[in-house]
Chain A
Amino acid sequence: MNALFEDPALFRLLLVLSVGVAFAVYTRLHLVGGGSVTGGYVAILVVTGQWSTLLGSALVTLLTLIIVRGFVLRFFGLPRSWQFTIAVFVGAVTTAVLAAIVPAWISLGEPLGLAITFGAFVIPGLVSYDVSHQGFPQTMLALGLVSGATLAICVPVFLLLQGLPAGSTDDVPFIQRIPTDLMPFAVIAVIVIGAVLRFSLNLRSGGFIGALFIVEFFSPEAFLAVGAAALATQVIMSLIEWRVVLSWRQRAMVALMLGALVAWAGLYWASAFGWLPAMEANLYTLSPLLATGLMAADMGRKGSDVLRTFLGTGLAALILAVLLWFTTTLGLAAGIGTLLVVSLGLIPGILALRAPRRAAERSGKMRLVELGRLTSPGSRSDGDPPPA
């Protein structure tokens, strides 16, 4: 990490500021550059000089786009939520493959590394989804504007703040619980688990990273602390929305910023109060802020609420913890096998996709019935009986 930017607080400022810029870009131009945090992610990679990660993310984004648009979407007519999750999954798997081929590509682990690792795995999917949805030039413009404006504001501010002391630190050791070599597997697993919970049980899991952070921190206290911060954010959001009209996307961005600030403040004061778990959690630069913000954003999403988000994040963390324990005990092959078993949980969600497709086909054939070419929307045009 560049010596100029050693203080974690500066990265936290950068994160919140980048979401604020993303809010402005979306509000003014209706453009998004791969979710709310991608601009911040790119800016962090730039200020820390992680050019290989940046280049790798760009390459994976391109590959993800080709795989998803060129293959997956040709076969399946999927709702947007599925397309989004598939894009994120494909991006994460491609990143893992690239990371295996070129190990030095991304810095796994370390306090900032957890969020950066997560970003490296998830962000290609987010960007490729937005490229598909809104176009390549538009997405790149948004991404460039957000990361550029964030850097333009943050770098002078960082330089101005250099003359000041960093601030109090808690004298606790940093322990990384998820082994570095298992991180890619953990990220892919949490995406699969999140998809199972979402599509089969209609539960949200705190934007994937919520569960990952809780497992990394590995304590019920972490879960409760993140959950309480997210709940507090949700309460404040309700008050804000009572007065301020926000579109869904604007709401998610504000919730992310607010959640990050609540987590930041909560961790600071709880650490100051001497609560050991908070001190340990405070060592993670961005993860607790992202986890809280994304949980709060999930709570306010369409078809979601506080309970579903709590339950989803808790379950995701529990399943991931068991899966990782399995993997460390029995080996990666056993872990992958178990993950495949977990992914069978997607079957109810997959089966649920059939009904709308059939209804769409039937509605299309209603025209043929009205024209007298078919006797019923269930029959084939060539007069065959309806398929079983």
Chain B
Amino acid sequence: MGDAWERLRTHARDDLLTQQSLSAVLATATLIVVLVVWYAWSTRALKALWRIPLRVLVTGTRGKSSTVRLIHSALLAGGIPSIAKMTGTASRELDTQGREHTTNRVGQVSILEVLETVHRNMKRGGPEPKAVVLECMAVTPDLIEFVSRRIVRPDVVVITNALWDHLEEEGTSLGDIAISLSLSLPGARLLVTSEHRVGTLAILRYEAALQVVDVDAVSGRDLPAGVLAGAPHAHPDNIAMAIAVAGYAGVGPATALAGIATASEEPLPVVAAACVIDGITWTYRDIGSVNDTDSLTPALEGAKAQMPDGAVVLGMLVTRWDRPLRAVQFAASVTPEDVDGLIIVGEPDILVRHVARRSGWTDDRITRVSVWGFGQPPIFRRLADLATRIAGERPRDIGIIAMENNHQYVADLVREKFYGADVL
């Protein structure tokens, strides 16, 4: 033992000022600097966030971003200075004066954006926010809980609905999806939802009861037609939820509605665009923001109604390799009764084609445009060939309805032809 101590002392004395010891000190300093800087930065944002008296976290499957905009406008109309953040493809921030700011992203979507929003707002000036409305960007259950518990600590949670989406993360049954979304509830006082399915709503109510959270289940169907006329572009359910949240904040329905009527819309293309290529008139409509097959029917019917009479309508499944279950869902859901032909872009295209065949598609009505595009004819010539095969002659009008996802390399190339490169 004495030898060991002596050895220890010798080591310590010999290594007091060496490359080894200083390297270790610098490495330790690196970790300390990283932690201290991050702690200071994040704590400042968190404290500022938690000082805001009303914190609303909006999660769910469909309509999150629109609902955030409506709630923000309703609260502003009620004299409550509010900030808001929408995430997803069209990531935007709204300040206390109702101005919209684009979130410039270099990298991936991250839950850290919430803290960045708070920091940016602190720099913007204007009245001190009394409410914050945040769209929950987390989809994995653990992360939803983390965002709610550790970051936002919401007073009000809005679960717009629980539909078939994000199956990879949230589960493969509506019950599982509802439970995953309910992980946003701990600590909240009120849950506002417009979930219509009785079974799923019961699960949400049960989870809320476990967390001692009041539930306000609303429906756009209950709103009078005159109310809906004030905001014709907003979904009735979203209006109902915004009125409910505003009511919690002490803003009356009439004032809230006046605000809702002024709310901005999502910067996504909502009308069809057309162009002429090689003598064919192409009409394009993007419903890629509809990511669940529950909501597909009205969106698809609406898009088809915008196609010219007699056009060969091609459905473009914009599949993503990291959302394979969504790809399977859409391939199973879209049939030849919906569109005349199918374009597959992205991966897993071979699996998608297999599922599409099981949904009644034949190979002559399907084409795939690969990511690489090596050795392939130009995209629009290939699509025209497909339409010709389907129609039996070269058509004068071809319609494309892009669905499932907004963005993918090939889909973006097609879309750019109609909207230019700067449209989301």
Which 5 A-B residue pairs are closest in the complex by CB-CB distance? Answer: A77-B324, A167-B20, A364-B332, A30-B107, A359-B172
Q: Establish whether residues A167 and B167, one from each chain, have CB atoms under 8 Å apart when the complex forms.
A: no
Q: Is the CB of A17 within 8 A of B26?
A: yes
Contact A272 B7 (CB under 8 A): yes
B102 proximal to A (CB < 8 A): no
Complex CA distance for A168 and B23, rounded to whole angstroms: 13
A360: CB under 8 A from chain B? yes
Counting CB contacts under 8 A, is B22 at the interface? Answer: yes
Pairwise interchain contact A363-B172, C-beta atoms closer than 8 A? yes
CA–CA, A362 to B355, complex, Å? 11
B258 to chain A, nearest CB (A): 36
- B-contact 0/1 string along A149-161, CB 8 Å cutoff: 0000000010001
Q: For the A-B complex with A31-B106, A168-B11, A359-B167 known, give 15 more contacts whose Cβ atoms are closer than 8 Å.
A: A16-B27, A20-B30, A20-B33, A30-B110, A31-B108, A141-B106, A161-B19, A164-B17, A166-B18, A257-B31, A268-B24, A360-B172, A363-B164, A364-B293, A381-B358
Contacts of A302 in B (CB 8 A): 140, 142
Report B172 CB to chain A, min CB distance, Å: 3
- State in angstroms the CA–CA spacing of A142 and B167 once bound together: 30
> Chain B nearest CB: distance from A157 CB in Å?
7
In B236-289, the 8 Å CB interface with A consists of: none
- Least CB distance from A134 to B in Å reads 5
Q: How many residue pairs bridge A and B at CB < 8 Å? A: 232
- Given known contacts A9-B24, A74-B348, A168-B20, is B107 in contact with A245 (CB within 8 Å)? no
Given known A-B contacts A166-B20, A381-B358, A272 and B168 have beta carbons under 8 A apart: no
- Taking A29-B106, A77-B328, A142-B107 as contacts, is the C-beta distance between A244 and B39 under 8 angstroms? yes
Closest approach, in angstroms, between the C-beta of B143 and any C-beta of chain A? Answer: 7
Size category of the A interface is 35 or more
Interface stretch among A88-96, A320-328, A366-374?
A: A366-374
Q: Identify which of B24, B325, B332 contacts A264 (C-beta below 8 A).
A: B24
- CB pair A261–B28 under 8 Å, yes or no, is yes
Question: Which interface residue of A10, A70, A73, A356 has the most chain B CB atoms within 10 A?
Answer: A73
Contacts of A70 in B (CB 8 A): 372
**Distance, CA A141 to CA B33, complexed state (A):** 23
B299 to chain A, nearest CB (A): 11
Smallest distance from the beta carbon of B229 to chain A beta carbons, Å?
Answer: 28
A79 within 8 A of B: yes
Nearest residue (CB) in B for A157 is B26
Least Cβ–Cβ distance between B135 and chain A, in angstroms: 17
Q: With A and B bound together, what is the CA distance between A141 and B105 in angstroms? A: 14
Task: Find out whether the CB atom of A272 lies under 8 angstroms from the CB atom of B12.
Answer: yes
Identify the closest chain B residue to A361 (Cβ): B332
Task: Give the distance in Å from the alpha carbon of A27 to the alpha carbon of B41 in the complex.
Answer: 11
Report the minimal beta-carbon distance from A82 to chain B, rounded to whole angstroms: 10
Q: Which residue of B lies closest to A22 (CB)?
A: B34
> Which of B35, B106, B151, B349 is within 8 Å of A74, CB to CB?
B349
Answer whether A368 and B333 are a contact pair too, CB < 8 Å, given A79-B168, A357-B328: yes
Query: A366 to chain B: which residues have CB within 8 Å?
Result: 164, 293-294
Residue of A nearest to B321 (CB): A73
Q: Is A198 an interface residue (CB 8 A)?
A: no
Chain A minimum-CB-distance residue to B326: A360
Pick from B3, B20, B294, B326: contact of A367, CB under 8 Å: B294
Q: Are B351 and A75 in contact (CB under 8 A)?
A: yes
Taking CB atoms and an 8 Å cut-off, the chain A residues in 6-60 that contact chain B are: 7, 9-10, 12-13, 16-17, 20, 23-24, 26-27, 29-32
Residues of the B chain whose Cβ atoms lie less than 8 Å from the Cβ of A3 = none
Chain B residue at smallest Cβ distance from A246: B38
Judge if A243 is at the interface, Cβ distance under 8 Å.
yes
Q: Which residues of A contact B113 (CB under 8 A)?
A: 30
Q: Are A254 and B31 in contact (CB under 8 A)?
A: yes
Kindly provide the distance from the CB of A24 to the nearest chain B CB, expressed in whole angstroms: 7
| Inter-chain contact B31/A273, CB cutoff 8 Å | no
Decide yes or no whether B337 CB sits under 8 A from chain A.
yes
Closest-CB distance, B26 to chain A (whole angstroms)? 6
Do A164 and B18 touch across chains, with their CB atoms under 8 A apart?
yes
Chain B residues whose CB sits within 8 angstroms of the CB of A166 once the complex forms: 18-20
In the bound assembly, the distance between CA atoms of A29 and B103 in angstroms comes to 12
Cα A79 to Cα B143 with chains together (Å): 17
CB of B21 within 8 A of chain A?
A: yes
Which residues of chain B are within 8 angstroms of A355 by Cβ–Cβ distance?
A: 172
Q: Mark A215-259, 1 if CB is under 8 A from B, else 0.
A: 000000000000000000000000010011111101000100110
Known contacts A24-B34, A272-B7, A360-B326; decide if A367 and B333 are in contact (CB<8 Å): yes
